[in-house]
Chains A and B, each alone.
Chain A
Amino acid sequence: MSVTDAAVHEAGPLPTTSRIVNDFAIQVATVNGSGSQSANLVLLRSIFQMGVPVSGKNMFPSNIAGLPTWYTIRASANGYIGRKKEVDFLVAMNPETAREDVLTLSPGAAVVYDEPLKLQELRGDLVFYPVPFDKLIADVTKDAKLRRLVRNMIYDGVLSRLLSIDMGQMEKALKKQLGRKLKAIELNMAALKAGFDFAEANLEKKDPFIVAPMDKTTGQILIEGNAAAAIGCMMAGVTFVAWYPITPSSSLPEALIEYLKRYRRDPDGKATYAVVQAEDELAALGMVIGAGWAGARAMTSTAGPGVSLMAEFVGLGYYAEVPAVIFDIQRGGPSTGLPTRTGQQDILSTAVLSHGDTNHSMLLPASVTECYTMAMEAFDLAEQLQAPVFVMSDLDLGMNTWMAHPFDYPTAPLARGKQLTPELLQRIGQWGRYKDVDGDGIGYRTVPGDVLPSYFARGSGHNEMALYSERAEDYVKNLDRLSRKFQTAKTMMPKPEVDLVEENGIGIIAYGTTHWAIVESRDQLKAESGVQTSYLRLRAYPFSEELNAFIDRCARVYVVEQNRDAQMLSLLRIDLTPDRVLKLRSIRHYAGLPIDGRSVTVELLKQERNSK
């Protein structure tokens, strides 16, 4: 392997006198489809089981097999579970990327690699641990197919030894991962042990990284956001699901299907739900609108390209006032974009999705716990507002593994919104589907089969009696009432989370998974630069009153988000008064990878300096 001069670092490995305990990122570089996911999850889980806060992020290609994949496990004694940009410990298994992977490491990082790759020649400022994977696996099994499957487990064994990860925890995690497949457990254990034994006999520990037991994960679970959302949907009493496969959304309906099969069938096997795999996203939302109109709790889940296709039906749902829950697991756009990378790029277009004057409510989950709780809130809000409600998750949240406390069982009953009853009908006399009886812009609805008065839902102009109308007065009255309804929505949405530490200081506004970078960045700003920041985490759109109060109490406010065009900032500009808009600044991150705390810190300080 040739080496460019520029890439050769002359300095030797750093001295290892200071140990770095529970604060580093391991990156495993493999080939997609090589079965590395099991090994990575076992590694993640065993550190978690030792009580050390962890997060696992998979950076994978839009491909089934053969392209490079990187899995990053972060251990953080401080509980930072956002992305860490710097890799401290590399496991280089992919010949195609190994060279670049090594060249981009910071000095002092450690590299476990497949011996034939000869990576130690590339740099002199890293710690190298060559491991003869093929030789080691040859002793584990003779079966070539099995060798390929368990080969990756060897690096878990090597890391167990090098990072002091308890082998007992590795074994426990492996059993958790493989369930009752005894033969597979036996084989994987053998590979794990082969790695451990090799490292013990041949590798001298020269890097500073080490895992030491803590008690910071007691009682917690490890879960992906899409699974959490699926559980929330089931607990919300979903009765109708229509979907079309799309990355990174598919694992939500797929998880939901499994839960529904298990927990939502009568003893005779009959289902209290229906799941339909639609022909496309247009049909998926069309079915949801039909089911919602007929009284079911209906949902779909998709990603950006699907949301684009759903625009027409979202407009119908808005105008005919039909409840619908739509999950958007955001990925990198525009167009097909980066299907397996993350972003917050659908915020602006979703807020006003579809032609004509429309606005839509969005929930903004930041954690797997909020994927669960906001799924339930979304169904309630959709029925209370009689409108489509979006849950704006993203790939990082939906498909990566996060720690959380076990989810609480919901105490509040399902909120089904305003439905006409015989008593109410008697009280109000003449019922009109779109009559604003209570002044909040929300009418009372009936559903087919309830033996109450029927109405004719339509996407064309209509009056408050739901009759076709092209009269200017009817049209304006209707649009104004829908506006009033959106004002009502402001009072019903989840409130932002506010941490005001200093009057007239620096404020930060963020939402969704950007939150985790902000948590870390605020600590960095304070500890390293003495910069105090206040923080407001948006949890929904339309914005509630707390937002104005927060901006009023800050001198300037950085809006941090994961898109190029400052989409949330744009929505804020539409809503806020000019004096408040003047206080807003923007920090954006749109590389397709999750935003990290360091990037926010660097950018914020840069803008602070420039403004002086």
Chain B
Amino acid sequence: MTTPTQPVPGRRLNRINLEPTAYRGSKTTLCAGCGHNAITERIIDSFWELGIQPDQVLKLSGIGCSSKSPAYFLSQSHGFNSVHGRMPSVATGAVVANHKMLAIGISGDGDTGAIGIGQFVHLMRRNLPMVYIIEDNGCYGLTKGQFSPTADLGSTLKTGVINDLPPIDTCALAIELGASFVARSFSGDPKQLKAILKAALSHRGTAMIDVLSPCVTFNDHDGSTKSYSYAKDHEEPLSELSFVPFFEDITIDYEPGTSTTVSLHDGSKIVLTKMSEHYNPVDRNAALRLLRETTTRNEFVTGILYIEPDKPDFINLLGLVDQPLAQLDQSRTRPSKVALDEIMESFR
């Protein structure tokens, strides 16, 4: 990992002279030990380290425990806690209205995998530039622990009820549908999660990150496959991940053949080392095969599973003017009288 900025005596400032507190939000109301809180901390770290202007960020969410968390980071950013499962559409409208803003959406496994699966699917297809995080605990926390669609076959509720339906693999789905950055991580792996988050924030296109985030209250028991202990025992990182932001001129020498570097749109780099055999993060078929194989072996693979840095995003496809649509004034949005007269003539 790289260090973000030169240390300033007395105060910790990032490259735009803000302290980490400028990236904090209100105090969390989630349970102590909730994985979501750890993710919130990594989000705060990542934004601070990258030196992103907080008032240039949109934070969005649906409904559920996960969707409460945008309140707990970046208090100076504009936020929208929308309706259950529908954050993707709100994000689509907001990002298209102002494509200069950096959007981060927080969802959960129920919010994405059940009520919101339709909107999730179409968000991935559009490759809308945003970071989309699923805080995945395999259950509905806010309604007291019912199974969600990411719960593994055979895992149990606290009450002993066994899940008899197969899970939805949101990462495989996202890759299949056209997301250009797909990763999986674990809230208990802060180093990897932060590197993935920073890479995602630097990517242009939809960056979908499924983060296993144990629910300490309803789904952290022995029969659960989304518990801290299960995740720790079964996590198989694909590689060591290093993120080098565009504003840092760092070269790390690796032995030839031991690392892969992926360059992002803004000049940042992702450096992957100690990779699993045959793993190539720009190969879509390989990524899907890997997910299938590891799932069959009950392994919980983490890391950047797939990345396509140059895929045109939705804003490119729409061919928009550079100035955000939301900021265009009447002189650019109301056609002239000549135009209206011409239209009227066509109906004579």
Contacts from A to B (Cβ < 8 Å): 220-223, 227, 231, 234-240, 242, 259, 263-264, 266, 269-274, 276, 278-280, 282-298, 312-313, 316, 320, 406-407, 409-410, 413-414, 446-449, 451, 454-460, 467-468
Contact = CB atoms under 8 A, between A and B. Distances in A.
Nearest to A372: B340
A293 B80 contact: yes
Contacts of A458: 79-82
Interface string B71-109: 100001111111100101111111111101100000000
Nearest to A451: B55
A234 B78 CA distance: 28
Is chain B's interface secondary structure helix, strand, loop, or mixed overall?
helix
Contact of B320 (A222, A223, A274, A282): A274
Contacts of B71: 456, 468
B204 to A, nearest CB: 17
Contacts of B118: 279-280, 282-283
B1 interface: no
A276 B96 contact: yes
Contacts of B337: 409
Nearest to A285: B89
Given A234-B335, A290-B80, A410-B334, A240 B96 contact: yes
A220 B92 CA distance: 41
A296 B322 contact: no
Given A290-B89, A455-B79, 11 more contacts: A222-B347, A235-B334, A266-B321, A276-B92, A289-B89, A290-B90, A290-B91, A291-B325, A294-B98, A409-B337, A454-B55
Contacts of B335: 234-235, 263-264
Contact of A295 (B81, B121, B326, B343): B326
Contacts of A291: 93-94, 96-97, 325-326
A312 B89 CA distance: 13
Nearest to A409: B337
B340 A286 contact: no
Contact of A459 (B83, B89, B343): B83
B6 interface: no
A291 B76 CA distance: 20
A406 B348 CA distance: 9
B86 to A, nearest CB: 5
B98 A283 contact: no
B101 to A, nearest CB: 5
A293 B83 contact: no
A310 to B, nearest CB: 11
B89 A263 contact: no
Contacts of B95: 290, 294
A234 B334 CA distance: 7
A272 B332 contact: yes
20 contacts: A227-B347, A235-B334, A242-B89, A263-B335, A269-B319, A271-B319, A272-B333, A274-B97, A283-B89, A284-B89, A287-B89, A289-B82, A292-B93, A316-B83, A406-B341, A446-B78, A449-B55, A458-B79, A459-B81, A459-B82
Contact of B348 (A221, A270, A272, A278): A221
A491 B93 CA distance: 30
B224 to A, nearest CB: 29
Nearest to B57: A448
B318 interface: yes
A577 to B, nearest CB: 37
Given A235-B335, A270-B321, A240 B340 contact: no
Contacts of B327: 295, 449
Name the residue in B321, B326, B340 with the highest tally of chain A Cβ atoms < 10 Å from its Cβ.
B326
Nearest to A408: B340
A298 B81 contact: no
Contacts of A292: 93, 97
B280 interface: no
A221 B95 CA distance: 39
Q: Determine the interface band of chain B, counting residues with CB < 8 A from chain A.
A: 35 or more
Nearest to A223: B347
Contacts of A283: 86, 88-89, 92, 118-119, 122
Nearest to B29: A468
A272 B79 contact: no
A278 B88 CA distance: 11
B81 A240 contact: no
A276 B83 CA distance: 20
Contact of B79 (A280, A413, A446, A456): A456
Contacts of B88: 283, 286
Name the residue in A235, A283, A313 with the highest tally of chain B Cβ atoms < 10 Å from its Cβ.
A283
Contacts of A278: 89, 122
Nearest to B122: A279
Contact of B119 (A286, A457, A468): A286
A457 B80 contact: yes
B81 A297 contact: no
Contacts of A266: 321
A223 B343 CA distance: 11
B93 A296 contact: yes
B101 A272 contact: no
A274 B80 contact: no
B119 A279 contact: yes
A259 B328 CA distance: 18
Contacts of A285: 89
B344 interface: yes
A75 B189 CA distance: 77
A401 to B, nearest CB: 10
Contacts of A410: 334
B94 A290 contact: yes
A237 B333 contact: yes
A456 B70 CA distance: 9
Nearest to A289: B90
Contacts of A274: 96-97, 318, 320, 325
A601 B88 CA distance: 52
A285 B89 CA distance: 8
Contacts of A273: 325, 333
